[in-house]
Amino acid sequence: MSDTATTGVSQSFQLKSASVSLTALELYYFDDTEFEANLREKISQAPGFFKDIPLVISLDKYEGPDRELDFFKIIGTCRRYNIHVIGVRAATDDQRRLARSAELPVLPGGSLREAKSEAPAQQPEAAPEPSPTLAQPAPAKVITQPVRSGQQITAPEGDLVILAPVQAGAEVLAAGDIHIYGPLRGRALAGIHGTEGARIFCQSLEAELVSIAGHYKISEDLQDNGWKSAVHIQLKDDLLVVKPLEKA
C-alpha cells in the first residue's frame, strides 16, 4: 500500500535534497561605479559564460562598512548584465537584515567568522557518509566526428570522450570527465553539476576556456603552462592545475 492510497490524495510533488553548483561573487568592498566597471571587465573576458547565470553574493571576505552595502544597486547592476542575484551568504546580523530587506534569501554556509570559534566543538568530519546504493554509472558519451565551431556537445550525466578535435568556437560539457584525443581549441567544461573531482584530458591544450565545477581559466591564463601539449587539468584547492600527460 502506498501513501497515496492511505491518504486518498495524490502527490503533486516531492521534496528532495539537491546540491547545485553556483557562481559566488566574493565582495571585498562596495562602490557602485567600481563594481559595475569590474563586472563589465569580467564579462568581456567570457561573455557566454556569464549570460543568465544565477549568482550568490558572498560576504565572507567583505571588509567595507555594512552601511555601504546596497543590495538594490547590486541587483540592478547585475540584472543589466543579465546576471541574476539569487541569494546572499552573509557574515553578520546586519548584513542578513540588509539582505532580507532587499528580499534576497540568506543562504547558509556564509557565517565563517562567527563559526570559527565554534568550529572545534563541531563534530569531526570523520562521520562516514552512508554508502550510497550501488547505482549504475552513466555510460560515457563517445563522439568520433570533429566538434566544429558553433557546435555544442553535452554529456549531462557521465563522461565525454571525443576522438577528434574540438575546434575554436565549439563547446563541450560533461557532468564527469572530458577526454579529448585531439587538440582542444574550443571550450571544455567538466563537472558541470559541481563534481570537483572531474578532470579534463587533451592531447594538445589550445583552449579558449577550461572549467571544472565552475572554476574556470581562459586562454590568456593557460598560455604559460602546457600550452599546445598533452595535459590533464584538475581542481586542487579551488585552483585549476594543468599538468603534462606523461607516458607511463
Give whichever of 37 and 163 is closer to other proteins, judged by the CB atom: 163
Tell me which of 75, 99, 170, 192 binds other proteins, using CB under 8 A.
Answer: 170
Quote the Cα angle for 183-41-37, to 5°.
170
Q: Does 229 bind other proteins (CB under 8 A)?
A: no
Give the Cα separation of 27 and 35 in Å (integer): 9
- 11: nearest Cα among 21, 22, 2, 19: 2
Using a 10 angstrom Cβ sphere, with 0-12 exposed, 13-18 middle and 19 or more buried, the burial of residue 58 is buried
- Asked whether position 225 contacts other proteins by CB under 8 A, the answer is no
**Judged by CB under 8 A, does residue 168 bind other proteins?**
yes
151 is a site residue for other proteins (CB under 8 A)? yes
Q: Which stretch binds other proteins (CB under 8 A): 19-27, 97-105, 149-157, 232-240?
A: 149-157
Which of 43, 102, 143, 164 lies at the binding interface for other proteins (CB under 8 A)?
Answer: 164
When asked if residue 142 is in the footprint of other proteins (CB under 8 A), the reply is no
Transcribe 83-141 into DSSP letters.
-EEEEEE-SSHHHHHHHHHTTPPBPTT--HHHHHHHGGGSPPTT-PPPPPP-PPPPPPE
203 counts as binding other proteins under rule CB under 8 A: no
Binding mask 87-126 for other proteins (x = CB under 8 A): ----------------------------------------
Nearer to other proteins by Cβ, of 166 and 242: the residue is: 166
Q: Is 49:216 a contact under the CB 8 Å cutoff?
A: yes
- The DSSP code for 203 is E
Closest to other proteins by CB, 146 or 158: 146
Nearest residue to 186 via CA among 150, 222, 158: 150
Residues β-bridged to residue 152: 171
Is residue 99 within 8 A of residue 71, CB to CB? The reply is: yes
Closest to other proteins by CB, 73 vs 148, is 148
How many other C-beta atoms can be found within 10 angstroms of the C-beta atom of residue 138?
14
Contact between 145 and other proteins by CB under 8 A: the answer reads yes
Q: Which of 42, 60, 107, 169 binds other proteins (CB under 8 A)?
A: 169
Residue 230 touches other proteins, criterion: CB under 8 A: no
Give the nearer residue to other proteins in terms of CB position, either 77 or 167. 167
Establish if 181 lies at the interface with other proteins (CB under 8 A).
no
Query: Which neighbouring-strand residues pair with 227?
Result: 205
Q: Residue 117 Cβ, how far from other proteins at the closest point, in Å?
A: 56
User: C-alpha 117: how far from its chain's center?
Assistant: 29
- Residues in touch with other proteins (CB under 8 A): 145-151, 164-165, 167-170, 185
